[in-house]
Structure 1
């Protein structure tokens, strides 16, 4: 796939970091601990998604540690705040690698992952379950990345096929200007057209006044509008579209955040369809969801959302791989253990890494109802 322009920029910047890449002599394993490194935005752009992911992962690792750890070792997750900036993420990664972490875990953002990857490319160090859905990370050029979620192409395909079933194949895309949304836009543009959708136009949220942007959308007479942004930018766009009379289908990618968008919009979000790559976070059918709800209640973190669930599942899958590594973990053994997870149920969530570095192809659509609640 052709790399989008922002990702090319971060690739070029990443190349400059190679000269100062750290030694991989330490392996992050002691008699009592296994140390993982994480860089994501606990503050700044992306923090609304990344912070609950981190909370979910830490909750599960805390559960494991309270039960004695993995083969007697505690899992220590060292997390650094990159404030949403790729260069800071790279600097954090150099620091983590210098401290000798066993692997990297749960980074956020496609541009961040692009910049960080050269630092682990020629090593056995794994980057597990990044919150980064650019399609190229699932290709042969990134063999050290193991993803929990599918790429944006699968999300775009699900949206396009749903739109076809409701007779709404004429699309207009509104997207945020950040690099993650640019990566999603590339996939959406390609997939919608390849599946027979009619892309009437696309525009950046915030490139002009919102009213003018919505007027441009309505002038194109689309049947569907796809929003690629976080909930903070998406919610005003939904309100403006509805206020100006748009009654067609409105879709959001997974980075829009079904529960976050529902909270922002309330009943005004009725009919908006949002992609998710994990089960419903407020359901009761899946065991791992029930466990998260119990742990979140005990930790007084409030109602879990899909990002907290994604982090919790990612940690559970990682822990399962560690168990299979055995009592003498190495990075090479970890890669082999991950790749050996073949149709394994992890608390009712099925993962499959054999011959693929993507654990799940789950892409489901949720709809916000007239009460502002998320429905399957």
Structure 2
């Protein structure tokens, strides 16, 4: 009986001790590293933002499942801005002032980034891997803005270099009536002038609704051999549909933000033959280590759609995590900036990023692909 009482007391003490240790462990659990994201997740421009976010999640989920970085999980606080710069500014204010994030990451859309990058600069918080190739942003990025994708100038130069070799001399440009669209049009005009070719005929799609009938009608009258789409999401789909209705035909070319997966899904056979510039390797060709890593971390997940944008999001997350690692255990916004600047010719296995003091455009990788109606991309 005495032995039983002793055993009971011992068990009670052990349970109490374990509980206390558990409370201590919980009390001393490392706080998460808070990162903020405002991204397009709704509305007619949502396709790219959704895919980009899926790719980001593949890597961050894998890192957190393995215990995080230095024992700290990365908490990505994601807010939808619907491609509205005003909403993006409100989201950014919340992320900086209420959520106290140490970095802004994975923003999408040139207008939103134009609106919010000065907020990051004022707060001295880095904005890492926004989806924009607008040269004005990349060339005047300031200290806190870091791009991991090529610029639209790089993409358009590759596009026009290719078309020149095929004998195309007349161009049209349909554009979103925003900073992205107008920047792309200006670049096309400059590149054509360099080659002593006539300026392109151009017309914007309607803001907000992205109705493209008027743009298609205006450009088809000039019957250019090639039409460059300075558009994304629904605007691209609408323009091609309306242009084909005019009975005219042209070689359509889209920038990497054209939402090529959406073109295939919504246009079917009419998407066949569209040329798209890409700023990351093919996510279907497992020839590079970065793509093999992506599939390894993806595993059996069914909630991720394979696309160039998904792989771009994955690469962006790899860059973010590498910066957090380099920043050390007491990671701060300033240490993240220094960590990003230390990434000189960092190879991720088939994709290289290169930053440094004053160097904020981390990649110039561009490839050309042709969309096929069955969803394949031919390099």
* TM-score normalised by structure 2 residue count: 0.84
Secondary structure class of the residue paired with 1:121: helix
* 2:261 corresponds to: 259
Tell me how far apart the structure 2 counterparts of residues 210 and 112 of structure 1 sit (CA, whole Å). 22
* 1:49 corresponds to: 48
* 1:23 corresponds to: none
Tell me how far apart the structure 2 counterparts of residues 212 and 117 of structure 1 sit (CA, whole Å). 33
Q: 2:104, 2:127 within 8 Å by CA — same for their partners in 1?
A: yes
User: Which runs of 5 or more structure 1 residues have no equivalent in the other structure?
Assistant: 1-29
- Is the aligned partner of 1:226 residue 2:232? no
Deviation at 1:294, TM superposition (A): 4.5
Tell me how far apart the structure 2 counterparts of residues 124 and 263 of structure 1 sit (CA, whole Å). 41
Tell me how far apart the structure 1 counterparts of residues 141 and 306 of structure 2 sit (CA, whole Å). 34
Q: 1:258, 1:366 within 8 Å by CA — same for their partners in 2?
A: no
CA RMSD of aligned residues (A): 2.4
* TM-score normalised by structure 1 residue count: 0.84
- Is the aligned partner of 1:203 residue 2:203? yes
Deviation at 1:134, TM superposition (A): 1.6
How many pairs does the alignment contain?
347
- Structure 1 ranges of 4+ moved more than 6 A: none
Residue correspondence of structure 1 range 111-130 to structure 2 within 5 A: 111-130=111-130
Secondary structure class of the residue paired with 2:362: coil
Tell me how far apart the structure 1 counterparts of residues 212 and 72 of structure 2 sit (CA, whole Å). 53
Going from structure 1 to structure 2, the CA distance change for 1:214 and 1:33 (only over 3 Å counts) comes to: closer
* 1:357 corresponds to: 360
* 1:366 corresponds to: 369
Q: 1:54, 1:308 within 8 Å by CA — same for their partners in 2?
A: yes
Q: 1:172, 1:222 within 8 Å by CA — same for their partners in 2?
A: yes
Tell me how far apart the structure 2 counterparts of residues 347 and 112 of structure 1 sit (CA, whole Å). 31
Secondary structure class of the residue paired with 1:348: coil
Q: 1:110, 1:183 within 8 Å by CA — same for their partners in 2?
A: no
Secondary structure class of the residue paired with 2:79: strand
* 1:14 corresponds to: none
Tell me how far apart the structure 1 counterparts of residues 101 and 371 of structure 2 sit (CA, whole Å). 41
* 1:11 corresponds to: none
* 1:4 corresponds to: none
* 1:5 corresponds to: none
Larger Rg: 2
Tell me how far apart the structure 2 counterparts of residues 263 and 359 of structure 1 sit (CA, whole Å). 31
User: Which runs of 5 or more structure 2 residues have no equivalent in the other structure?
Assistant: 1-28
Tell me how far apart the structure 2 counterparts of residues 226 and 312 of structure 1 sit (CA, whole Å). 27
